[in-house]
Amino acid sequence: MTSANLVEIDNVNFAYDSQRTILRGINMTIPQGKVVAIMGGSGCGKTTLLRLIGGQIKPTSGAVRVAGQTVHELKEDGLYALRRKMGMLFQFGALFTDMSVFDNVAFQMREHTDLPEEMIRDLVLMKLHAVGLRGAHRLMPSELSGGMARRVALARAIALDPMLIMYDEPFAGLDPISLGVIGQLIRTLNDALGATSILVTHDIMESLKIVDYVYFVSEGVIVAEGTADEIRASKMPFVHQFVNGEPDGPVPFQYPAPDYATDLQGNGRA
């Protein structure tokens, strides 16, 4: 069972308080070795799902199992042991600004292993080479462009060869070239490391090129799921609207760039 599905999300509900329910009855399975995308508009609870998998928050009810372990039942030691096998790419990279690119990638190796410094150097350069930034290892994060920072963060996320890599909005705010580079890296690194990847994104065109399976989340529930081809061919109004980026459809507020009038209304209510 664990060999087939690395992550299982079983009827999960999550709410910060009684008024604001973020997730309702989510069921997901993420098979070993696949790249799975979770899509939906901003604020629909995608990032919350990643936090649940990483054990940073506990579900209100239901269970998240990673590699057969129920995440929210783990003690701190167990949780940290599990997290060592996970890598996460944060939305804007979240590089440690007081450390060089090299030290950022070396961070986990130094924290969690007793490897000699020469070996760490080789490993770091290998990871940086994989994302094409071996030449930048002396730079500080403030000297990097957005796309480069994202790639360094990716190198850092795979530093300990994780079994599960999570990406929080890996495409946000990137130029088309960087977008393509990151997309390719996600796929090739996943296959090269034999890892499993979860992508949280609203960039449908880029994701459909690389993912195996897609979940659509809207207002805390899964509204559609399927393989990339099924999604492209889907006749469901919501998916159709999302894939083609139509401004008007069944869920106008879910459109990634809401139109002016909706935006104003949304602000007025808040």
Partner 1 sequence: MAVLDTLTSGLRTLGHKVIEGVWRIGFAARFFFAVLMYSGTAFRRFNLTIREIYFTGVLSLIIILISGLFVGMVLGLQGYDTLQRYGSSEALGVLVALSLVRELGPVISALLFASRAGSAITAEIGLMKTTEQLSAMEMMAVNPIARVVAPRFWAGVMSMPLLAAMFSAMGVIGGYLVGVKLIGVDEGAFWSQMQSSVDVRLDIVNGVIKSFVFGIAVTLISVFEGYDADPTAEGVSGATTRTVVTSSLAILALDFILTAFMFRGVG
- Positions touching partner 1 (CB under 8 A) are 54, 56, 80-81, 83-84, 86, 88, 90-92, 94-97, 107-108, 111-112
Residue number, 92 or 253, with CB nearest to partner 1: 92
Residue number, 74 or 228, with CB nearest to partner 1: 74
Q: Is 91 exposed, middle or buried (0-12, 13-18, 19+ CB in 10 A)?
A: middle
Enumerate the β-bridge partners of residue 9. Answer: 28, 64
d(CA 227, CA 212): 6
Minimum distance from CB of 114 to partner 1 (Å)? Answer: 13
Minimum distance from CB of 84 to partner 1 (Å)? Answer: 5
Residue number, 13 or 91, with CB nearest to partner 1: 91
Minimum distance from CB of 235 to partner 1 (Å)? Answer: 38
Enumerate the β-bridge partners of residue 200. Answer: 38, 168
> What residues contact 168, with CB distance under 8 A and at least 6 apart?
47, 50, 88, 89, 90, 91, 200
Q: Smallest Cα–Cα separation from 182: which of 162, 204, 167?
A: 167
Residue number, 57 or 136, with CB nearest to partner 1: 57
Minimum distance from CB of 105 to partner 1 (Å)? Answer: 11
234 DSSP assignment: -
